[in-house]
Amino acid sequence: MRYRRVLFAAVSTVVLLIASATAATATTRSYRNYVALGDSYTSGPLIPLPRLDPLFCGKSTQNYPSMLAAALRVRSFTDISCGGADTTNMTRRQSVTLGSNPPQFSALRSNTDLVTVGIGGNDYGVFGTLVGTCPSLRASDPTGNPCQERFTVGGVDTIKAKIADTGKNVEKVLAGVHARSPRADVLVIGYPRIAPERGYCPKILPFAEGDYAWLNDVEKTLNSAIEKAVAADGKATFVDTFGPSAGHDACAPNGAAWINGQHTKLLAAAAYHPYRTGMAGVAGVILRHLR
């Protein structure tokens, strides 16, 4: 059985590389200077092998920007993404363990012709609040929606209210990108699905059953706010990964999941973060978009 899994993984990798090469040759424009901006869903913490610039940004050499850069055969590639980043870290240095990450806009140049941006989930602590609070509430009402109830005050969903402001922040980020790299194609990458559309896997994703639907709704709201910011910007393009990641949520079988569950896995993925399969999946979505 182990042999079959290894064989499947090897075949999948070959298929991905072929698909990536095909997509790259089908693009309408070749790119020379690519910059990747973003948070941990861009950087890929604990996916082997890590970059050291700085180490505790959790940047992987196998994240989707690295795969995209290889497939597009760009001349210059700068990945300045960093785990924990929010929109303020585009213009402000970010402190990390044993160092700091420069303001992410510092990587942009006038000759940059491709920029990917994956940001917004950490604004106002939304992502950290959900994964830090919801699992501890499951025991109080396993089949209910205790986390949704915790964050609903006076009939207002306070998490979604914060996300509305996140969209405004993303608009400012895009304006900053255009000002620094006016000739660049700017792709804003949405967040892939974490929870399944149906079913539950409490050992992997320890939310109460009723909170699965709410988690999906929160993520849809976040992606929608980012997509609206892109539309208001009028120059960038939104790349949806939520839809294409259906069936690849944290509850998906081994090898199919793009997202890890509650347990950090060394040399695989941080808790609640993408596996290499997720990075490959997102890279494939972007390459298809670039055809």
Q: Where in the chain are the domains?
A: 2-289
Tell me if residue 200 falls in helix, strand or coil: coil
Fold of 2-289: Rossmann fold (3.40.50)
pLDDT score for 254? 80
pLDDT of 1: 41
Q: Which two tokens stand for residue 132?
A: 């830090």
pLDDT of residue 2: 35
Q: Is residue 218 a contact partner of residue 251, using CB atoms and an 8 Å limit?
A: no
- Reading the chain (291 residues) residue by residue, the pLDDT tens digits are 433 343 344 334 434 544 544 544 454 589 999 999 999 999 999 999 999 999 999 999 999 999 999 999 999 999 999 999 999 999 999 999 989 999 999 999 999 999 999 999 999 999 999 999 999 999 999 999 999 999 999 999 999 999 999 999 999 999 999 999 999 999 999 999 999 999 999 999 999 999 999 999 999 999 999 999 999 999 999 999 999 999 999 999 989 999 999 999 999 999 999 999 999 999 999 999 998
Which amino acid does the sequence have at 155?
Answer: G
Backbone angles phi, psi at 239, to 5 degrees: -115, 110
CA distance 152 to 63: 35
Distance CA 209, CA 141 (A): 9
- Annotate 235-254 with b (16+ C-beta within 10 A) or e (fewer): ebebbbbbebbeebbbbbee
| Residue 77, CA atoms < 13 Å, CB-side half-sphere | 15
Exposure string over 166-199, b if 16+ CB within 10 A, otherwise e: bbebbbebbebbbebbeebbbbbbbbbbbbbeee
Task: Give me the pLDDT at residue 29, please.
Answer: 80
- Report pLDDT for 26: 54
147 backbone dihedrals φ, ψ, rounded to 5°: -70, -45
